[in-house]
A = this chain, B = another copy of it.
Amino acid sequence: MDLIVAVLRGLGANEEEAYIQADVWTEADLRGIHSHGVQRLPVMATRIQKGLLKPNVKPEKTWTTDAVLNIDGKDGFGTAICELGLRELTPVVRKHGVGALSVRNAAHIGMVGYYAERRALEGLASICFTTTEALVHPFGGAEALVGTNPIAIGIPGDPRPFLLDMATSVSAMGRIIALKHRGEKIPEGWAVDRDGVPTTDPDAALKGSLSPAGGPKGYGLGIAIAMLGGLLVGMPAGREVLGTLDTDYRCTVGDLFILMDPKAFPGADTMAAGVKTYLDELRASRPATGFKQVSVPGDPEFKLREERLVNGIPHPEEVWHAAEQLRSTICK
């Protein structure tokens, strides 16, 4: 964490930007979501050095109504812009019961569940959308035209929030990159090659496209999120979304967050207990053949996070080495 902050500070990030960016990556790595962790540092460093990501800029904030905040990030850190914008939106949501934040012209915001989980810890429910490069083929199509466009839904709960954080593709491209880094094959059904033929080779998948989760369902949800997280926010949809994985283009991702205060809804007093009861019922239910236990979204990641908070994160040599090398060249 100190190493990441040092590198980002060395690249010109202010303290808040560096801290939040490092925290988002670390939370991803703690949960085993390495695709959204510190392995992204070298790409981000290059993006900053090329002026595609601008540290320490002042985002332009516009309240179009008393419940909708729109932020033009001026090519700054998406992570800090979203997190600080959401903190600003929070009192408004407590007043109106519902509120929305849109963020445009900002860098990749990382694991979208990060924001949903923080809001849930503060007692707010949230639905968060972000767009990505068009890496997914339509259902029945052979071209990559839809983003993996993830959705995160956070619900306050006891002893901890319910957190759903998922791409609308079977997998995220970052996970394929992570498997490539580890020299592993990808599972069947995740992706097709450039000719539309299913593949287990990460290199072929990187040149082809990802498959939508649940066929037409993930495809449809991906389009809807392109419209909500992209077009509504004043950013593009489909192939014009760029700048999260490459080092050549401005980031044209869009982000949309809808927050709700359970206190404004009839479930205010019963919801937390209901969440616990329901999740426990799912966990205790009869597993299908081949499964040891029924799991609930977020459970495996939370368990791994607990373990890694004690034992540390086993970064692959090359990821850590790249960060160290960046520190030695940047922070002289």
A230 vs B141: C-alpha distance when bound (angstroms)? 35
A312 at the interface (CB under 8 A from B): no
| A140–B227 CB distance below 8 A | no
A70 vs B267: C-alpha distance when bound (angstroms)? 10
A121 vs B281: C-alpha distance when bound (angstroms)? 41
| A274–B236 CB distance below 8 A | yes
**8 A Cβ contacts from A142-186 to B:** 142-143, 145-146, 151, 153, 155, 162, 164, 166, 168, 170
Contact A68 B164, CB 8 Å, known A125-B232, A217-B218, A278-B231:
no
Interface size class of A (residues with CB under 8 A): 35 or more
Please tell me which one of the listed residues B100, B237, B271, B295 contacts residue A231 in the complex, with CB atoms under 8 A apart. Answer: B271
A266 at the interface (CB under 8 A from B): yes
A329 at the interface (CB under 8 A from B): no
Bitwise, A272-300 to B at CB < 8 A (1) or not (0) is 00110011011001111111011111000
Bitwise, A108-123 to B at CB < 8 A (1) or not (0) is 0000000000000000
| A155–B224 CB distance below 8 A | yes
A64 vs B93: C-alpha distance when bound (angstroms)? 12
- Whole-angstrom distance from the CB of A214 to the nearest CB of chain B? 3
| A267–B232 CB distance below 8 A | yes
- List the number of copies, as a whole number: 2
- Whole-angstrom distance from the CB of A205 to the nearest CB of chain B? 16
Please tell me which one of the listed residues B65, B196, B220 contacts residue A97 in the complex, with CB atoms under 8 A apart. Answer: B65
A127 at the interface (CB under 8 A from B): yes
A168 vs B274: C-alpha distance when bound (angstroms)? 21
Please tell me which one of the listed residues B65, B214, B262 contacts residue A170 in the complex, with CB atoms under 8 A apart. Answer: B214
| B153–A224 CB distance below 8 A | yes
Q: Offer 16 A-B interface pairs, CB within 8 angstroms, sorted by A.
A: A67-B67, A67-B97, A67-B98, A68-B97, A98-B99, A100-B265, A127-B258, A141-B285, A141-B294, A162-B223, A164-B221, A231-B270, A232-B262, A232-B271, A234-B267, A235-B267
**Chain A positions near chain B (C-beta within 8 angstroms):** 64-68, 70, 72, 95-100, 102, 104, 125, 127, 137-143, 145-146, 151, 153, 155, 162, 164, 166, 168, 170, 196, 213-221, 223-224, 226-228, 230-239, 258, 260, 262-267, 270-271, 274-275, 278-279, 281-282, 285-291, 293-297
- Inter-chain pairs besides A98-B99, A100-B264, 17 sampled, C-beta below 8 Å: A64-B265, A66-B96, A67-B67, A68-B98, A125-B227, A127-B127, A138-B282, A143-B286, A145-B285, A146-B282, A166-B217, A170-B214, A213-B213, A214-B215, A217-B218, A227-B274, A233-B265
